[in-house]
C-alpha cells in the first residue's frame, strides 16, 4: 500500500486595498493538480468575500462568475506575487 502525503498550504497576508489594510486568507485546495487557491476577505460591513484563483498562462488569476468589488480585482497582481512567494517557501 502506497501512502501519499499532500502538504496543506494556507497563509494570511495584509494587503492595502481600497485605502485600508485588509486581511486576505489563502488556502490551497488539495486534489487540484494544476493548482487552485481559495481566498477570503472581509469587506467594510464585515461580510466575507470569497473567490478562487487558478494558474493561467504562468500567473494566478481570479476565476469564477460571482461579481466581486473592484478593490479585489485591482489587487490581482499582488495576490499572484503573494501566492508565488508562498509556493517558493512551502511548495
Residue 30 pLDDT class (50, 70, 90 cuts): confident
pLDDT of residue 57: 87
Residue 75: CB atoms within 10 Å: 20
Look at 61 and 4; give whichever has higher pLDDT.
61
Distance between CA atoms of 24 and 1, rounded to whole angstroms? 39
Decide if pLDDT at 3 tops 70. Answer: yes
Decide if pLDDT at 7 tops 90. Answer: no
Decide if pLDDT at 34 tops 70. Answer: no
Mean pLDDT for the stretch of residues 40-64: 93
- For 86, the 3-state DSSP assignment is helix
Amino acid at each position: 500500500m502506497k501512502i501519499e502525503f499532500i502538504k496543506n498550504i494556507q497563509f494570511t497576508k495584509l494587503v492595502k486595498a481600497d485605502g485600508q489594510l485588509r486581511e486576505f486568507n489563502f488556502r490551497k485546495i488539495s486534489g487540484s493538480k494544476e493548482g487552485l487557491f481559495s481566498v477570503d476577505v472581509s469587506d467594510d460591513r464585515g461580510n466575507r468575500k470569497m473567490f478562487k484563483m487558478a494558474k493561467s498562462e504562468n500567473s494566478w488569476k481570479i476565476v469564477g462568475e460571482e461579481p466581486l468589488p473592484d478593490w479585489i480585482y485591482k489587487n490581482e497582481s499582488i495576490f499572484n506575487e503573494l501566492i508565488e512567494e508562498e509556493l517558493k517557501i512551502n511548495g
